Structure 1
């Protein structure tokens, strides 16, 4: 078993909650509560809620960011890959305090765990392109 931080577990739950929302629709606050109340592993509740709610609020904008970085329509993405790309794109754009390499690495770890086989390659390529666009200065200095 690998050591995971509360923030990493929060990101995993965000992807799971987004996945559930995308598949079933469902009530956002109900899904949020369901994932906040899970007993497996400590999470950062404020971090989870902030990501989950804000990603859902900004889905259209995130799809517009993601679309040019992938070779297919965002509608054709698997739900897990789509959820992971939402997480990565949102964090690249809004969580400037998190180094872009950490954002991409976290997304890849989650994609490898929950996504389709090889899906992480698409995510890596997409988030790489987004990092170059959204974190120009940071990427240029690494």
Structure 2
């Protein structure tokens, strides 16, 4: 720290004022900047938007795909992961719903399409993306539900996916529980 900076800090303290915090990591308005999103996180976001269109509008998956790929920022997404999530979820919808349904406390028609799509993404990744740790899948889905869903939708998504994780990733979940990384 330079001598001048040291003197000015002492003067602020003597006057009873706090020195200004470093603005690194903050926007010009003082709001904390969001961490840079990974290309997989972006793929999940675009897949969620596309799955929402499918669930709500029953639009053709090819049309949805073309539309989504034209959205701003798609070039920053992992296109292969997006493809897998979108097409895998739509093609496997009945099987995904069959896994989700027993953990629901209401009918699918009463669940937000956002939460439904997020659960599809989570279950699809649990089953088909062993390179993504189960806890990462869970956390990413919770974040999607927080960002795009209703006020407490993330809690519902968490409960359902956390309930499915031991069934779909038994060895991984058990290893985390044994090591104390996950609750029993």
TM-score by length of 1: 0.96
61, 70, 74: which one pairs with 2:104?
A: 70
Q: Aligned residue pairs: how many?
A: 142
| 1:37 lines up with 2:83 in the alignment | no
Query: What is the distance in 2 between the residues matched to 1:22 and 1:56?
Result: 9
What's the CA shift for 1:36?
1.5
CA RMSD for the aligned pairs? 1.1
52, 57, 61: which one pairs with 2:86?
A: 52
TM-score by length of 2: 0.74
What do the CA deviations read for 1:32-79 (whole angstroms, capped 9, x no partner)? 111112222511112111210110000000000001112112232110
Unmatched 5+ stretches in structure 2 = 1-32, 177-184
Query: What is the distance in 2 between the residues matched to 1:25 and 1:10?
Result: 21
Written as runs of structure 1 = structure 2, the 5 A alignment for 1:1-142 is 1-2=33-34, 3-40=36-73, 42-142=76-176
Q: Which runs of 4+ in 1 moved over 2 A?
A: none
Query: What is the distance in 2 between the residues matched to 1:85 and 1:110?
Result: 10
Instruction: Report which structure shows greater RCO (CA 8 Å, sep ≥6).
Output: 1
Q: Which structure is higher in helix share?
A: 1
